[in-house]
Structure 1
Amino acid sequence: MKKLLHWAAAGLLMLAAALPASSELTLPPDVMQYATEGINGVYSLDFDTAQKNIERVFKDYPDHPFAHFGNAMIAWSRYEYEYELSDDRQRKVFEQILDESIAGIKRWIKQYPEDPNAYMGIGALYGLRAMFTMRNRSWITAYFSGRRAIKNLEKSLELDPTYYDAYFGLGIYQYYAGTLPSVIKILAKIVAIKGDPDEGVAQLNLAREKAHFTSDSAKLILIEIQNTRNSKYYAPQKSLEYIRQLRAKYPKNPLMHYVEIICLYETAHYDEVTEQAEDFLKLIGTDPFYKDIYISRAYTALGTVQMQKGNFEQARALFEQGQQAIKNQEPSRWGVWNEVRLGEVYDVLGAREKAKKQYRYVLSFDDKWGFDDLAKKLLQTPYAVPASRDVGPLPPQA
C-alpha cells in the first residue's frame, strides 16, 4: 500500500503540467505564458512563483480546469515537499483547496460538457483525494474517489481517443490496484477493486512515449515500479537512466536530485551515493530550493549506504550527526526514519539499551508515517543484518 501512497509524491507533482491540446485553442498567449511559468514553478518547487501565475489564470478564466487543478497541486506539493506531510495546518489548507477545486471544475463541466480537459483535471483530483484518504485509512472514501477518477479519465479518452495523457492516471490505477498487499485484498474484494499490473505498466509506457504533458510523470512512476524489489518489473538500471534524463531537464529540482541518489543506491553505485548525498547536503542553506527539512534525507542516504557496506561505526556517526542536525525541527517522516535506522545500527553494534531507547523514541511520535509496528517489533527482537548482507532499500520502509 505504501507504493500507492507515493505515486503522488512524485507523479502527481509532474501531472500539474498536464494541459491538453484543447486548452491551447482557448487560452490566449498571455494566459499560456502565465500557465507555463506556473508549471515551471511547480517543477522547480518554486511554489510562490507557481501560485502567482496560477492566480493570473484564475483572473482571466475563473473556473478553468487548469487553474483549479494547478491550485490544488500547489497546495498538495507544499504539504508533501515543503512540510514533508508533517504540518496539520497545511493539510487542512490542502483539503479545503481540493474540495473547492473539484467544485470549480464541476461548474466548468456544466458550461462545457464536451471539454476533455475538464474530465482530465477532475479525474486527477479525484485520484489525489483517493490517495490522500487512503493514507489516512479512510478506505471507503478512497474507493469511491478512485472510481470517480477512473470514470472521468475514461470520459476524457472517449471525447478524444488520442488524449494519451489520460493513460497516466489509468496506468497508475491498473498497476497499484493489481498489486495491493494481501492485508488490503479482502477489502478490495468487498468493493470490487480490480487491476491488471501488466496493463498498468503498458499504459504508463504509452504515456511515457506518446503523452504530451505526462510523459515525465510516467517516467517517475515507472522509476518507482522499477525500483520495487522482488517484482517482475524490477529494473533499477532503467530507473537510473530515466532519472538522469529528468535531472537534465529539471536541474533545479532537489527531489529529482534525491531520486537519482536512490537509484544510484539501488544499482549499487555506493561511492556515488556518498558523493551525491554530500553534495545534496552542502546545497541545503545555499540553494533556496534545498530546504532545511531535507537534511534528514541526506543523512538517511549517507548512513544507509555505510550500513550496506558493512561500516556500522561510520553509519552510527552519520545517523547521530543527522539526529543533532535536525534536533530543532518538527518531526518529519525522514527524520523519524533516521531514528529507526540509528536504533538498528545500535543493535548491530551490541548497544541494545541504546537501540531500545531509540525505538521507544520513535513510538513517542504520532504514527503519521506507519513506523510503530516496526518499532514495536524491534523492541521485542533486536535488529540483525540479514544473511544476504542487504540492509534494504534506502527510502523509509513503512
Structure 2
Amino acid sequence: MNIYLWQHKTAVALFALAVWAAGQGRLAARSPAESADAEDRRLARRGVDLMMDGDLDGATSVFRQIQGQDPHSPIGYLLEAEALWWKIYYSTANLLDADVFDVAALAATPHDAHFNDLVAVAIERSEAGLRARDDVPRNLLYEGMAYALRARLEGLRGRDLPTGRAGKKMRALLLSSVKMDPSLTDAYLGLGVYNYLMGTLPLTEKIFQYLVALPPGSRASGLEQLRRAAQEGELTCGEAKFYLAKDLSRTSEGAYAKSLTLFGELARDYPNNPLWPLVAASLKYSMGSKPESDALFRAVLERTAAERSDAERGVHRAARAALLAQHPDEKFGE
C-alpha cells in the first residue's frame, strides 16, 4: 500500500475515533437528573398534545406516568392539575364567553379538592428543587406555572383577592425564571395573561389592583407575550394560542377574523377537540355570518351527541344552548 495513502487513512480513522469518543464523553457527562428531566419533558409534550386535543383522561395517564418514574419532579403533578382545570372549565364555564376567567356557573366541582392538592404538590416539589439549587430557572418556571393554575381556578370562581395574590406570586416567579434563562419561553403564557388582564382592567376595578398592590400590566405587552408563547413555547404553545384567540375575540378588541384564524390553527393541530369549531361558530355569529354560524353549531351538536368525554359533554351543552337561543321553538335532541 502507498505509504502516504496509508497515513491518510490512519489519520481519518483516528479523527473519527476522537469525534466518537468526544460524543460519548458528552453523553456520559449528562447527569441522571438531566436525562430524567429530558424524558419527563418528552412525555409531557405528548400529554399536553392529548390534553389540547380534548383527551383529558389520556393526558392524565401520561402525566401520572411521569409522576411514577420521576416522583420528585413537579411537572407531572403540575400538568395533571392543568388537565383537571380543563375538566372544570368544560363542566362549569360559559365556553362561548370571550373571558376564560370568572365565567363559571358553579361555585365548586368534585375536582376542586384534588386540583388544589396537585397544585400544592407541584409547588412543594419546585421549592425543594430550588433549595437543592437544582436547575433553578426551570423550577422557578414550574412553581410560577403552578401559581398560575391556582389563580385560574380562583378567577373562574370569581374570588378576586386569592386570584390577585396567586397572580402576583406567579408573575414574580416567571420573571425570575426567564431572566435567568431566556430560553424558557413557556413563562410568557402566564406573563402574557397577567399583563393583558391588568392592562385592560376597567377603571372601577383598578381600585382593587391598588389595594392588593398588584404590579400594573400592559395590553400590548400581554398580547405580544402570548404570541411569543404560542410560537415558541415548549409546553404552552397550544394553550397560549387559545388565550390569545380568546382575547382577540373580545368586543373591545374586535379582531374576530384574527381570532378565527387562530382557532382554525388549533383545529388543524388538535382536530379531535370540538371546542375549536364551537368557538368558531360563535365568532361567525359575531361577524354577522349567521347562516354559517348556525350550520357550524348544528354540526358541532351532532358531532358531540355521544358525549363520550368531558370536552364533548361541555361543548354539546354549549352548542345546544346557543342554538336554543336562536331557535327557541326547536328541540335539539330533547
Give the TM-score, by structure 1 length: 0.66
What is the CA-CA distance between 1:226 and the residue it aligns to?
1.4
Contact 2:231 2:237 in 1 (8 A): yes
More displaced, 47-56 or 149-158? 47-56
- 49 and 146 in structure 1: CA distance in 2 versus 1, 3 angstrom threshold: same
Match of 2:282 in 1: 262
What is the CA-CA distance between 1:202 and the residue it aligns to?
2.1
Quote the Cα distance in structure 1 between the aligned partners of 2:178 and 2:227: 17
User: Among 48, 73, 86, which residue is 1:64 paired with?
Assistant: 73
Contact 2:91 2:313 in 1 (8 A): no
Contact 1:68 1:102 in 2 (8 A): no
Aligned positions, number: 289
Quote the Cα distance in structure 2 between the aligned partners of 1:224 and 1:203: 14
Quote the Cα distance in structure 2 between the aligned partners of 1:64 and 1:302: 45
User: Among 54, 65, 70, which residue is 1:45 paired with?
Assistant: 54
User: Among 237, 240, 255, which residue is 1:215 paired with?
Assistant: 237
Counterpart of 1:184 in structure 2: which amino acid? E
User: Among 176, 187, 191, which residue is 2:208 paired with?
Assistant: 187
Contact 1:114 1:159 in 2 (8 A): no
- 112 and 49 in structure 1: CA distance in 2 versus 1, 3 angstrom threshold: farther
- 227 and 72 in structure 1: CA distance in 2 versus 1, 3 angstrom threshold: same
- 179 and 273 in structure 1: CA distance in 2 versus 1, 3 angstrom threshold: same
- Cα deviation code 1:177-236 (max 9, x no counterpart): 11123332211122232111122122222333333443332322221121111x2x3211
Quote the Cα distance in structure 2 between the aligned partners of 1:83 and 1:135: 9
Counterpart of 1:225 in structure 2: which amino acid? D
Match of 2:12 in 1: none
- 204 and 180 in structure 1: CA distance in 2 versus 1, 3 angstrom threshold: same
Structure scoring higher RCO (CA < 8 A, sep ≥ 6) equals: 2
Quote the Cα distance in structure 2 between the aligned partners of 1:32 and 1:144: 29
- Cα deviation code 1:18-37 (max 9, x no counterpart): xxxxx995337765554343
Quote the Cα distance in structure 2 between the aligned partners of 1:280 and 1:110: 49
State whether structure 2 residue 102 is matched by structure 1 residue 80.
no
- 140 and 161 in structure 1: CA distance in 2 versus 1, 3 angstrom threshold: same
- 137 and 277 in structure 1: CA distance in 2 versus 1, 3 angstrom threshold: closer
Match of 1:275 in 2: 295
Counterpart of 1:27 in structure 2: which amino acid? A
Overall identity of the aligned pairs, in %:
23
- 102 and 41 in structure 1: CA distance in 2 versus 1, 3 angstrom threshold: same
Give the TM-score, by structure 2 length: 0.77
What is the CA-CA distance between 1:157 and the residue it aligns to?
0.7
Match of 2:250 in 1: 228
- 27 and 262 in structure 1: CA distance in 2 versus 1, 3 angstrom threshold: farther
- 41 and 189 in structure 1: CA distance in 2 versus 1, 3 angstrom threshold: same
Match of 1:139 in 2: 160
Give me the CA root mean square deviation. Answer: 2.6
SS at structure 2 position matched to 1:265: helix
Counterpart of 2:124 in structure 1: which amino acid? A
Gaps of 5+ in 2: 1-31, 94-103
Quote the Cα distance in structure 2 between the aligned partners of 1:110 and 1:94: 25
Match of 1:104 in 2: 125
More displaced, 210-219 or 69-78? 210-219
